Amino acid sequence: MLVLPSLLDGWRRTPVAGIEQELDLARLSILIANLPLLYGVICVHIVVTAYSFSGVAPRALVYGLPLAFILFALVRAVHFMRLRRFIPVDGRVAHDMLRIVQFIAVGFGTLGTAWMVALYLYGDSALRSQLVFSVVITNMICSYILGQLPRVALTLAGISMPGFLLLLMLTGGPDAPVIAMNLGLVGLFLAYIVMVSARDFEKMVAAKLHAVELAEENRLLANTDSLTGLPNRREFFERLECAIREEGEQGALVMGVIDLDGFKPINDLYGHAIGDCVLRECAARLQIFASGGTTIARLGGDEFAIFTRGCFEESDILRLGEEVCAALRAPLRFADIHAGVSASIGFARYPQDAMDGHHLYERADYALYFGKQNHRGAAVLFSSEHESKMLLNARIEQALRKADFEQELTIRFQPLLHVATRRIVAFEALARWTSPDLGDVSPEDFIPVAESGELIHAITRAALRKALRAARNWPHDIKLSFNISIRDLVSQRALTQIMTLIEGSGFDPSRLDIEVTETALVADFERAAAAIAQLKRMGVNISLDDFGAGHSSLAYIHRLPLDMIKIDRSFVQEMHVNSIARDIVRSMIGLCANLNLDCVTEGVETQEQFDLLRGFGGTFVQGFLFCRPVPEDEVAGVIEQYRPGCAGQALSA
Ligand code: C2E
Ligand code: CA
Ligand code: CA
* Residue identifier of the C-alpha nearest atom 29 of ligand 1: 444
Can you tell me which atom of ligand 1 is nearest the CA of 485?
Answer: 44
Q: What is the pLDDT of residue 363?
A: 96
Q: Could you read off the pLDDT of 494-518 as tens digits, one per residue?
A: 999 999 999 999 999 999 999 998 7
Mean pLDDT in residue range 541-562: 81
3-state secondary structure of 307: strand
Fold match flag (233-382 vs 413-429+477-652)? no
As beta bridge partners, residue 296 has 306
3-state secondary structure of 129: helix
pLDDT at 474 over 90: yes
Q: Could you read off the pLDDT of 79-108 as tens digits, one per residue?
A: 888 888 777 778 888 888 888 888 888 888
Can you tell me which atom of ligand 1 is nearest the CA of 622?
Answer: 15
* Residue identifier of the C-alpha nearest atom 8 of ligand 1: 430
pLDDT at 653 over 60: no
DSSP secondary structure code for residue 3 in this structure? T
pLDDT at 16 over 70: no
Fold type of domain 233-382: Alpha-Beta Plaits (3.30.70)
Distance in angstroms (rounded) separating the CA atoms of residues 330 and 341: 8
Can you tell me which atom of ligand 1 is nearest the CA of 604?
Answer: 18
Average pLDDT score, the chain:
88
Counting Cα atoms < 13 Å in the Cβ hemisphere of 318 gives 11
Ligand closest to 568 (CA) is 3
Mean pLDDT in residue range 284-313: 94
CA 561 to ligand 1 center in whole angstroms: 23
Which of 519, 532, 504, 515 is closest to 600 using CA atoms?
Answer: 515
Q: What is the pLDDT of residue 210?
A: 87
Q: What is the pLDDT of residue 516?
A: 93
Mind giving me the DSSP string for 399-457? HHHT--HHHHEEEEEEEEEETTT--EEEEEEEEEEEETTTEEE-HHHHHHHHHTSSHHH
For residue 587, give every residue at least 6 positions away whose Cβ sits within 8 Å of its Cβ, in sequence order, or none. none
Mean pLDDT in residue range 205-234: 90
Distance in angstroms (rounded) separating the CA atoms of residues 571 and 616: 14
* Residue identifier of the C-alpha nearest atom 11 of ligand 1: 629
Can you tell me which atom of ligand 1 is nearest the CA of 463?
Answer: 41
| Ligand 1, pocket residues at CB < 6 Å | 414, 430-431, 442-444, 447, 463, 483-485, 545-546, 569, 603-605, 622-624, 629
CB burial of residue 208 (10 Å; 0-12, 13-18, 19+): middle
pLDDT tier at 160, thresholds 50, 70, 90: confident
CA 284 to ligand 3 center in whole angstroms: 37
Can you tell me which atom of ligand 1 is nearest the CA of 464?
Answer: 41
Mean pLDDT in residue range 586-591: 93
Q: What is the pLDDT of residue 551?
A: 60
CA 55 to ligand 1 center in whole angstroms: 114
pLDDT tier at 13, thresholds 50, 70, 90: very low
Amino acid at 15: P
Q: What is the pLDDT of residue 98?
A: 85
Ligand 1: which of 414, 483, 546, 570 to mutate, judged by most atoms within 8 Å of the beta carbon?
Answer: 483
CA 545 to ligand 3 center in whole angstroms: 5
Ligand closest to 573 (CA) is 1
pLDDT at 451 over 50: yes
| Secondary structure of 560-602 in HEC code, one letter for each residue | CCCCEEEECHHHHHHCCCCHHHHHHHHHHHHHHHHCCCEEEEC
Can you tell me which atom of ligand 1 is nearest the CA of 515?
Answer: 2
Distance in angstroms (rounded) separating the CA atoms of residues 96 and 320: 49
pLDDT at 652 over 70: no
Q: Could you read off the pLDDT of 117-156 as tens digits, one per residue?
A: 899 889 888 888 888 888 888 888 887 777 767 877 887 7
% of the chain at pLDDT higher than 70: 95
Ligand 1: which of 373, 405, 410, 430 to mutate, judged by most atoms within 8 Å of the beta carbon?
Answer: 430
Q: What is the pLDDT of residue 646?
A: 66
pLDDT tier at 519, thresholds 50, 70, 90: confident
Question: Kindly report the CA angle at 73 between 70 and 74, in degrees rounded to 5?
Answer: 85
Report the b/e string of 622-643 with b at 16+ CB within 10 A: bbebbbebbebeebeebbebbe
**CB atoms inside a 10 Å sphere around CB 95:** 17
pLDDT at 206 over 50: yes
CA 581 to ligand 3 center in whole angstroms: 16
Domain ranges across the chain: 6-216, 233-382, 413-429+477-652
Mean pLDDT in residue range 191-219: 86
Q: Could you read off the pLDDT of 404-443 as tens digits, one per residue?
A: 999 999 999 999 999 999 999 999 999 999 999 999 999 9
Mind giving me the DSSP string for 523-557? HSHHHHHHHHHHHHHTT-EEEEEEETTS---HHHH
Q: Which numeric CATH code is attached to 413-429+477-652?
A: 3.20.20.450
CA 336 to ligand 3 center in whole angstroms: 36
* Residue identifier of the C-alpha nearest atom 25 of ligand 1: 430
pLDDT at 527 over 50: yes
CA 80 to ligand 3 center in whole angstroms: 80
pLDDT at 6 over 50: no
CA 398 to ligand 1 center in whole angstroms: 23
CA 622 to ligand 3 center in whole angstroms: 10
Q: Could you read off the pLDDT of 372-407 as tens digits, one per residue?
A: 877 778 899 999 999 999 999 999 999 999 999 999
Q: What is the pLDDT of residue 12?
A: 37
pLDDT at 202 over 80: yes
Which comes out higher in pLDDT, residue 279 or 123?
279
* Residue identifier of the C-alpha nearest atom 21 of ligand 1: 603
Mean pLDDT in residue range 461-465: 98
Distance in angstroms (rounded) separating the CA atoms of residues 168 and 185: 14
CA 16 to ligand 3 center in whole angstroms: 60
Which comes out higher in pLDDT, residue 193 or 389?
389
* Residue identifier of the C-alpha nearest atom 23 of ligand 1: 603
pLDDT tier at 550, thresholds 50, 70, 90: low
pLDDT tier at 240, thresholds 50, 70, 90: very high
CA 569 to ligand 3 center in whole angstroms: 7
Least confident of 276-280, 588-592, 647-651: 647-651
What phi and psi, each to the nearest 5 degrees, are found at residue 459? -65, -45
Which comes out higher in pLDDT, residue 268 or 287?
287
Ligand closest to 443 (CA) is 1
Mean pLDDT in residue range 219-227: 91
